[in-house]
Amino acid sequence: MRLIFRLFLELCLFRKAPQDVPHSVFLFVFTLGLNVVLSMINLLFLVEESRQPGFIDALQYIAIRTVLFLVVIYSILFMLGFRNRIIQTLTAIQGADIILGIVFMVIGLGLSLLPPGSPILILVIMLFLGWSLAVHSNIYRHALSISLFTAGFLAVGLFFLEILIEKQFSPVMM
């Protein structure tokens, strides 16, 4: 377990790529489940009280976001002929999101002491968002054999898709 955690950490530090992730359906399902649980914790406890969704709303939002995201990535890999990379790529994304979620949780707890709209709070969130997009871009670059620039566009596009889902699903969370 420690080796897998280290692998995902190194993926987030750009030392590893999705092809270094074991091709394991079990690992994919495990990371998917853990990522959903971590996303629920982050959404329910680290979101501003006035924007906090209820448990059912949060679960529905995370389920819709996760399924849509998995379908989009699966479809892209399938259509471009990278069927053998699907499990590794999806596992790498879920594993990286677990690491990013843990970091966000730790940072979020510290930043919760700052007043909303604080310049430091905004700066840290923007830096974290940039890191998250860079990690995803790196995964897409390797998985799809495309340039980092193109992978960056894909990462930003999927990020905006997530925002649209969030906005459509629950105006309270925006």
Q: 15-33, pLDDT tens digit by residue? A: 999 999 999 999 999 999 9
Q: 95-113, pLDDT tens digit by residue? A: 999 999 999 888 888 777 8
Q: 29-87, pLDDT tens digit by residue? A: 999 999 999 998 888 776 665 566 677 877 888 888 899 899 999 999 999 999 999 99
Q: Model pTM?
A: 0.89
Phi/psi at 80 (5° precision)? -90, 5
Among 144, 164, 146, 153, residue whose Cα is nearest residue 76: 144
Highest mean pLDDT among 63-72, 112-121, 133-142: 133-142
